[in-house]
Structures are given as structure tokens and as C-alpha cells.
Structure 1
Amino acid sequence: IILFALTYVQWQPSTSSPEIEELPELFVKAAYGLNYSTKLLEISLTGSIPDPSEHYSSMLSLSAKLRNLSEEGILTYSRLGRELRDSARAYSAIALAASKLDTLSMEIANTVPLIDAMFHNLIQCNISAAASTAEKLEPKLRTLKQATDAALKALAGVDADKLLSDQHRAIYSEAAEEAAKIGHMLVEISKIVNMLRNVDADTLRAACIAHKMGNTISLTNCKMLSQHLLAINPSKGCKYGYELGLIKSWLKALGQQSQNDQTSSGTGGGAGAGQPSSDD
């Protein structure tokens, strides 16, 4: 269809840009660029990624090039030409989304060490260190949320119906799914940060130690802690699903059981989701 459209538009009275003939190659480049960005996003959860700067710049340039080509007048002379124009716009959006994912990946990789440290200290009942790390983490989480929102917005701007192969649509769907998982994960991490900020450190420490010892505590100010713990959804924690499950299991030390629908509802998962939760 693409080749037929390109041949057809050459018959029109206007002279087309030679770059119009590059569209099939540019479409593939955009799709595989998004695929690379998605893999980079997955790797970013390890805390280390290849420098995405060059790929980021190439995707921005490709997006602009495809957008400009979509405005070529020759693509308006026929139905096939207009379909090609619409596809060029869709792949321009694909390349733009790839650049947004590159930015998000870089921000995640830079923030993962702090997130890891917060969870490690909290699970070890080192509440003061966890709270100190959480305080440093708060502005970074805001930056991450902005980057995630930008990536999701760019992905939402892709008209998947205009992509020209099932493989390209699958690449797009995977990118959208991975970005959404990151968004869910950040929500759960923010719940832990809020808990560390709002719940008394002695209460947190007592609950953590009691859980480790298999004991039950009775503190008058446990209600707020209980509310924070009940709000945690480990199934949406992505890499941190296991850690979130361990923390939520502190409910046992408060003489409560976590609600099954709190830990098993929703989508997401990823690394850590398959590990046993101490809620069980």
C-alpha cells in the first residue's frame, strides 16, 4: 500500500520532495526507536542505563521530519496520499513518544538508588534513615511524575489505527503498558513516602519490630499507620512489589489482616510481583 501510494503521488502535477520516498524507512525507524526506548525503560529499573542522549535527539529529529513531510501538499491529492499523510503523523507521534520515554528512563535510573535505600532501611526497621531518604526522594518523585505524565500524554497522541503493521501496533501497545506500570509504581512509592512523613517514627519502628518478632502491638496511635498500610497495593509496585508486600504485612503486628482485594486487584506486576507476599 505504501509503495503504491508513493508511486501514485508521483503522477500528480506537483513535484514531491525526494524525502517522501523515504517514508517507509522512516516509519520503521520510528517504530523500532520506540521499541528501543521501551526496553531502555525496563532496564532503567536496575538503576543503570546506556546514555540515551543520542537516541533522544535522533527521535526528536525524526518526529519533526515526519511531521514536516506529513504537510507536503502532494499527500493531499488522493485517498492513498492522505492515508500516507495520516500515517506520517502517527509515526511522528511515535518518535516523539520514544523521546519522552528516554527522558523518563534517565530520571528513573537516577532515582532508583534512593528508592532502593528507602525500602531497605524501612524493612530493616531503620526508620530514621528511611525517613531521611524519603525526604530526599520527594522532589525526585515529583520530577518522575512529570516525566511519566509527559510520556503517557505523548503515547496517547498516537493514532494506532494509522500504524501500518501489526508489529508496529504491538510495539506501541507494549510501550504504553510499560509507561503505565511506571505510573502505578510511582503511586505506590509515594504512599510509602507519605507514610514516613505522616506516621510517628516510634509507631513505625514498633510495628516493624513486632512484625519481625511475630508479636502484636497495641498502640493508641496505630489507626493512621493502619490506614496507610491498607492503602498499599503491592500488585502495582512493579519492581518493588515484594518490598511493598512485606511492609503491608505489618498489619499483622497491628492485629489485622490485609484485605485480599487490596493486594491482588489491578494490573501491573513485573519484577517482584511473583515473589511471595508475607501477607499470605
Structure 2
Amino acid sequence: MSASFLRSGTLLGHYTSLKSAIAIIENGTIRLNSMSRMNDPKETASWILDVELPSNREILFNDRCAGDKISRQCREIAKLACFSMDSATEIDSPVLHHARYGALGRCFANAPMWNHYAEKHQGVCLVFEKSSLERCIVTQLGKSFVHMGAVDYKDEPYIVDRWSYAYRYSADSYLHLGLEAYSDLFVRSACQEIFFTKQKDWSYEREFRVLAIDQVEGPVSFRFGNSLRYVILGAEFFKGDDSELSFNRSRLSELALGRFGIDELEFKNHILRIKQNI
């Protein structure tokens, strides 16, 4: 792995399966999916929204399903892509630059992430240069609302979550704008608290998120250009030898050859580290 990219904070890792990694590299794109594809039940389940009643009390607001409609619409138009950040800091740089332990604290050496998102260490982590990836996102998705940043991990009682401004909608604005326009506004105003806040149980992910609003059903994509720098193979990547696995491994090597750095991880006792250059 090139020393020029070992500095902490320069990389973002995307954990995925071998098949998905091949598709991403072949297409040169990353997809942002709706919240229905997320793993946190807080995000996949319908929100319980309170209503701020119309200021004009003569207006009868009896749409009892408005909260559910807004919840569904917002979770559909909010498209997300997720990455993992470094946990190491610049203080750790002497350790990070040690040739045999260059994986320590890096975005591509998060053992739970390998287990949960990359086929139990048999998949791949695609490693992007953060600043370059951000430029691609802004250039291609900048016409819509885009928000990028680290997820904030904190625990709050249900009552705080329930009555926060983020989970309350305005009947006035809903009636004036209609479902689509108001849902767009709702996502923008509640972006940080709803989409960039998770319980501390998820903090191991060290998640960096990209959110874009798109009214079209289904995912949206952007081309990542030259921001993909490394392809990291899991510690169990070469486990199994059926024909499909062998074909996909060969295909990945062909795609990466001469374009990206490619490394394999291994466990040394309980530590994930770079095994060798391939």
C-alpha cells in the first residue's frame, strides 16, 4: 500500500460482496439507495410523527394518515450511500506506517464490518480517496440537495426522540405544499438528526454517509472517477474453490490490475493486518 495514502483521514472504505465489487468497478458507479435498504430498524421502520396543528383554528385538519405518508415519502426520496472511516489519528502515525501493521485503525480493517457487510471476511473493501470522492459527488449530484458527513452516535430516551423537532411535521406547510414538496422540505430540515444520528450500538461502523434527495423511485448513481485507490481482499477471501468463486476472483484481479492497489488482509492473533502485495 502506497505510503502517500497511509495518512489518517484520507480514505473511505466501502464493504461489499465479491459480486457487488465487480459490478461497482465494471460500471464505475456507486449507488445511493433508499432507507429501506438500511440495517437499522430505526431507519427501515415507519416513523411516528407528531403534528403541529394549523395556526388557523378554523381549518379542520383530519388527515390521520399524513404522518405515515410523509414518513414513507421521505424514506423513499432520501438516497444514501455508506462508507467506513478511519479510527486512527495522526498521533498513531508511527504505528500506521509500520510496514506489517499498516492496517491498524484504518477504514478497511474493521473486523465487524467485514463480518456483517463483506460476506464474513470473504468479500471486498473498496477504498476511496475521500477528497476525490467528495468532488465527484458534488459535481454530479450537486443540483439536488446533498449532505455528506460522519454519523453522530448517541443514545437518547424514546421520549426525547419522540418530541424532538425532527419528528414533528407542520400541518400548515403540509397543506400548503402538498406531500412531495413538503417531504423534500422535511428531509432537508431534519437531515442531521434523523439521517446522520444513530444509537451508540452502531458506533463500530465509523460511518460516513452521503445523502441526496431524488423524487425518482429507485436508487441514484454517480461515477467515482479516479477516487477508487485500493481493493482490499478479506482475510477469508480465498476460502472455497468452486468454479463461480474462481471465475469472480479472476475477474476482480483483471479489473484491478494496473488500475488500483490490491492487498489481502490476514489475522495475526486478533489483529487484522496487510498480508502481502498481490
Q: TM range, normalised to the smaller chain?
A: under 0.3
The structure with the greater share of residues assigned to helix is: 1
Q: Larger RCO: Structure 1 or Structure 2 (Cα < 8 Å, ≥ 6 residues apart)?
A: 2
The structure with the greater share of residues assigned to strand is: 2
Q: Larger Cα Rg: Structure 1 or Structure 2?
A: 1
TM-score by length of 2: 0.23
